[in-house]
Chain A
Amino acid sequence: MNLLFDSVHSALLLLFSFDKDLIEIVLVSLNVSSFATIIASIMGVPGGFLIAYSTFPGKRFVLTCLNTLLALPTVVIGLLVYSFISRKGILGSFDLLYTQKAIIIGQVILIVPVIMTLTIAAISRIDSRYRMTALTLGANPLQMAVVILKEARYGILAAVIAAFGRVIAEVGISMMLGGNAKGFTRTMTTAMALEYDKGEFVLAVALGITLMTLAFAINMLFHFFQGRTRSDVV
Chain B
Amino acid sequence: MLYKLENVKRVHGDRTVLNISELEISPHKIYTLIGPNGAGKTSLLKILSFLDKPSSGKMFFADEAVNFSEKHLYDFRRQVVLLDQNPIMFTGSVRSNIEFGLKVRKMPPAARNERVEEMLALVGMEIFADYDAQSLSGGETKRVALARALALQPHVLLCDEPTANVDNENQEIILQIISKINKVHNSSVIFSTHYLSQGQKLADHTLLLQNGVLSDLTNENIFRGTVIHHSDETFSCQLTGQLALNLPSAGLPAEAQILRLHIDPDGVVFRQQDTDVGKGNSVAGHIVELSQDKGWVRVSVDVGVTMVLRMSMKEYHKQLPALGKKADLFIPHSSVAWSQADKPM
A binds B: yes
Selected interface stretch from B55-63, B87-95, B241-249, B277-285:
B87-95
A127–B87 CA distance with the chains assembled, in angstroms: 11
CB distance from B84 to the nearest CB of A (A): 6
Choose among A130, A136, A138 the residue that contacts B90 (Cβ–Cβ < 8 A): A130
Which chain A positions have C-beta within 8 A of B100?
134, 137, 139
Across the interface, name the chain A residue whose C-beta is closest to B88: A129
CB–CB A138/B49 < 8 A? no
A228–B84 CA distance with the chains assembled, in angstroms: 30
Selected interface stretch from A38-46, A56-64, A143-151:
A143-151
The interface size bin for chain A is 10 to 19
CB distance from A231 to the nearest CB of B (A): 13
State whether the Cβ of A181 lies closer than 8 Å to any Cβ in chain B. Answer: no
CB–CB A138/B84 < 8 A? no
CB–CB A143/B90 < 8 A? no
Residues 128-160 of chain A, each 1 if its beta carbon lies under 8 Å from chain B, else 0: 011011111111110100010011000000000
State whether the Cβ of B112 lies closer than 8 Å to any Cβ in chain A. Answer: no
Which chain B positions have C-beta within 8 A of A140?
74, 104
CB–CB A129/B90 < 8 A? no
Q: Give the total of B residues in contact with A, Cβ under 8 Å.
A: 22
CB distance from A207 to the nearest CB of B (A): 40
Given contacts A137-B149, A140-B74, contact A129 B104 (CB under 8 A): no
State whether the Cβ of B77 lies closer than 8 Å to any Cβ in chain A. Answer: yes
A141–B104 CA distance with the chains assembled, in angstroms: 11
CB–CB A136/B81 < 8 A? yes
CB–CB B101/A147 < 8 A? no
Which chain A positions have C-beta within 8 A of B51?
132, 135-136
Given contacts A132-B82, A143-B104, contact A138 B152 (CB under 8 A): yes
> In residues 55-85 of chain B, which contact A (Cβ within 8 Å)?
70, 74, 77-78, 80-82, 84
CB–CB B86/A129 < 8 A? yes
CB–CB B104/A139 < 8 A? yes
State whether the Cβ of B105 lies closer than 8 Å to any Cβ in chain A. Answer: yes
Which chain A positions have C-beta within 8 A of B70?
141
A148–B182 CA distance with the chains assembled, in angstroms: 32
A135–B149 CA distance with the chains assembled, in angstroms: 12
Which chain A positions have C-beta within 8 A of B84?
129, 132-133
State whether the Cβ of B148 lies closer than 8 Å to any Cβ in chain A. Answer: yes
CB–CB B88/A127 < 8 A? yes
A115–B80 CA distance with the chains assembled, in angstroms: 37
A150–B89 CA distance with the chains assembled, in angstroms: 12
A37–B105 CA distance with the chains assembled, in angstroms: 35
A139–B100 CA distance with the chains assembled, in angstroms: 9
> In residues 74-121 of chain A, which contact B (Cβ within 8 Å)?
none
Which chain A positions have C-beta within 8 A of B104?
137-140, 143
Choose among B78, B86, B87, B91 the residue that contacts A138 (Cβ–Cβ < 8 A): B78
Which chain B positions have C-beta within 8 A of A134?
90, 100
Which chain B positions have C-beta within 8 A of A135?
51, 77
Which chain A positions have C-beta within 8 A of B86?
129
CB distance from B249 to the nearest CB of A (A): 46
CB–CB B77/A136 < 8 A? yes
Which chain A positions have C-beta within 8 A of B105?
138
CB distance from B125 to the nearest CB of A (A): 17
CB–CB B74/A137 < 8 A? no
Which chain B positions have C-beta within 8 A of A127?
88
Which chain B positions have C-beta within 8 A of A150?
90-91
Which chain B positions have C-beta within 8 A of A137?
81, 100-101, 104, 148-149, 152
CB–CB A147/B90 < 8 A? yes
CB distance from B9 to the nearest CB of A (A): 21
Choose among B49, B78, B88 the residue that contacts A130 (Cβ–Cβ < 8 A): B88
Across the interface, name the chain A residue whose C-beta is closest to B100: A137
A146–B293 CA distance with the chains assembled, in angstroms: 48
3 A-B pairs closest in CB distance:
A137-B101, A129-B88, A136-B82
Additional A-B contacts beyond A130-B90, A137-B152, A139-B101 (16; CB < 8 A) = A127-B88, A129-B86, A129-B88, A132-B51, A132-B82, A133-B88, A134-B90, A134-B100, A136-B51, A136-B82, A137-B101, A138-B78, A138-B101, A141-B70, A150-B90, A151-B90
